[in-house]
């Protein structure tokens, strides 16, 4: 089945939006040239508390459930280029090509593929022009990283995708797996024609792909900070404290007094023993804070003597 879908995917990039053999409306700006914008994703630092106990794992899983589920798309809005259009499901024609929207200003969703909001690459295609003038995706190449694409189903359920990058490919050499293939992320790719119009072939020489990714809803943080640990004390080379009885706690931060200021010296995950080893523990004072799954930090515990 996967091979069939990828074959169809290859067809769409070679033939999508084929059929308007008369008239050519030039693309604005970088006509016929590859265009790219940088990925807007930010490289994240590794988590402070790399392992969470089962209760905190459960909390994080529940947080992820607030993310939108996949939908059967019925309309699309792209505010940055003033696009509002209905979406038609399209399949694979008898000649192996992907179907195209019946209305020049509608957008086609590749229905045999991924639904928007699912893990993988959902694909929408739209005409760039027709015999009578610009069509729905005429300004698609003007999109920039960070622009939003809003897709709704028939009941009004809404998903918002954020532009990550864009690129033009020769119609016979686009990366099929990258555009239509599997992915752990929830992606939506927008396709239209670009480049010179080949009258002999009845289509444009290039395909523009705008890559977007689902904007997950923010998880609301608790209104109050976590409780502070208690009974912090030093015994020999060990600093110990009592755990905070809250399933949201991800870990603890240990602070040591140095030259009159308290400096963080350790991060202890919630599943670990509530202690910190320091050969010089008897020469310093300490306090401990609790940190929840939302990275909110409690007030300090008592300061050790």
Structure tokens at 12: 């769409």
* Residue 18 or residue 119, greater confidence: 119
Q: Is the pLDDT of residue 36 over 60?
A: no
pTM for this predicted structure: 0.57
State the CB neighbour count (10 A cutoff) for residue 242. Answer: 13
Q: Is the pLDDT of residue 217 over 90?
A: no
**Residues 183, 169 contacting (CB under 8 angstroms):** no
Catalytic residue status for 14: no
* Residue 98: closest CA among 184, 172, 187, 5: 5
The predicted structure's pLDDT at residue 23: 34
Fold matches, 70-214 and 230-297 = no
Structure tokens at 128: 């760039």
The predicted structure's pLDDT at residue 86: 96
DSSP 268-302: EETTS-SEEE-TTGGG--EEEEEEETT--B----P
Average pLDDT, the chain: 79
Per annotation, catalytic residue among 193, 204, 231, 242: 193
How far is residue 61 CA from its own chain's centroid?
A: 17
Q: Is the pLDDT of residue 54 over 80?
A: no
Query: Measuring CA to CA, how many Å separate 74 from each of 55, 88, 111, 154, 244?
Result: 39, 7, 12, 6, 48
Catalytic residue status for 193: yes
The predicted structure's pLDDT at residue 200: 60
**Residues 265, 282 contacting (CB under 8 angstroms):** no
Per annotation, catalytic residue among 14, 127, 242, 284: 127
The predicted structure's pLDDT at residue 14: 43
CA–CA distance, 109 with 125 (Å, rounded to integer): 7
Per domain, the residue ranges of the chain are 70-214, 230-297
Q: Is the pLDDT of residue 291 over 60?
A: yes
Q: Calculate what percentage of the chain has a pLDDT beyond 70.
A: 71
Q: Is the pLDDT of residue 170 over 60?
A: yes
pLDDT in tens, 65-97: 444 579 999 999 999 999 999 999 988 777 666
The predicted structure's pLDDT at residue 234: 96
Lowest-confidence segment of 3-17, 108-122, 147-161, 214-228 by average pLDDT: 3-17
pLDDT in tens, 178-201: 888 888 899 999 988 875 565 665
The predicted structure's pLDDT at residue 22: 33
Binning pLDDT at 50, 70 and 90, where does residue 108 land? very high
Terminal alpha carbon distance of the chain = 69
pLDDT in tens, 200-213: 655 656 788 999 99
Q: Is the pLDDT of residue 6 over 60?
A: no
Structure tokens at 63: 């947080």
**Cα 11–Cα 14–Cα 15 angle in degrees, nearest 5:** 80
CA–CA distance, 83 with 109 (Å, rounded to integer): 16
State the CB neighbour count (10 A cutoff) for residue 208. Answer: 24
**Residues 292, 251 contacting (CB under 8 angstroms):** no
Q: Hey, which CATH number is domain 70-214, 2.40.260.10, 1.10.287.70, 3.40.50.1000, 2.40.37.10?
A: 2.40.260.10
- Residue for token pair 């995706």: 137
* Residue 215 or residue 7, greater confidence: 215
* Residue 72: closest CA among 123, 115, 120: 115
The predicted structure's pLDDT at residue 26: 33
**Residues 105, 85 contacting (CB under 8 angstroms):** yes
The DSSP 8-state label assigned to residue 79 in this structure reads G
* Residue 252 or residue 135, greater confidence: 252
CATH superfamily of domain region 230-297: Immunoglobulins (2.60.40.10)
The predicted structure's pLDDT at residue 180: 83
* Residue 172 or residue 114, greater confidence: 114
Residues 6+ apart with CB under 8 A from 173: none
């Amino acid at each position: 089945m996967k091979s069939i879908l990828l074959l169809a995917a290859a067809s769409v990039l070679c033939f999508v939006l084929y059929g308007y053999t008369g008239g050519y409306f030039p693309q604005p700006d970088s006509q016929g040239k590859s265009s790219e914008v940088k990925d807007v994703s930010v490289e994240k630092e590794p988590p402070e508390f790399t392992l969470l106990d089962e209760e905190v794992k459960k909390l994080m899983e529940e947080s992820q459930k607030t993310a939108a589920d996949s939908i059967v798309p019925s309309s699309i809005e792209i505010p940055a280029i003033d696009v509002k259009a209905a979406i038609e499901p399209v399949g694979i024609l008898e000649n192996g090509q992907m179907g195209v929207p019946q209305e020049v200003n509608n957008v086609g969703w590749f229905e045999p593929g991924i639904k928007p909001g699912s893990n993988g690459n959902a694909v929408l295609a739209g005409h760039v022009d027709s015999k009578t003038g610009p069509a729905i995706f005429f300004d698609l190449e003007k999109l920039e990283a960070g622009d939003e694409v809003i897709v709704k189903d028939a009941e009004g359920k809404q998903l918002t995708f954020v532009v990550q990058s864009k690129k033009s490919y020769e119609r016979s050499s686009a990366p099929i797996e990258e555009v239509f293939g599997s992915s752990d992320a929830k992606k939506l790719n927008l396709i239209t024609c670009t480049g010179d119009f080949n009258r002999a072939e009845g289509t444009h020489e290039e395909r523009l792909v705008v890559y977007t990714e689902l904007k997950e809803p923010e998880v609301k943080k608790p209104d109050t900070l976590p409780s502070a640990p208690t009974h912090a004390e030093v015994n020999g080379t060990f600093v110990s404290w009592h755990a905070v009885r809250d399933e949201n706690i991800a870990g603890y931060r240990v602070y040591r007094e140095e030259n009159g200021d308290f400096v963080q010296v350790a991060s202890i995950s919630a599943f670990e023993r509530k202690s910190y080893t320091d050969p010089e523990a008897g020469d310093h004072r300490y306090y401990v804070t609790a940190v929840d799954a939302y990275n909110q930090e409690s007030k300090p515990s008592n300061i050790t003597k």
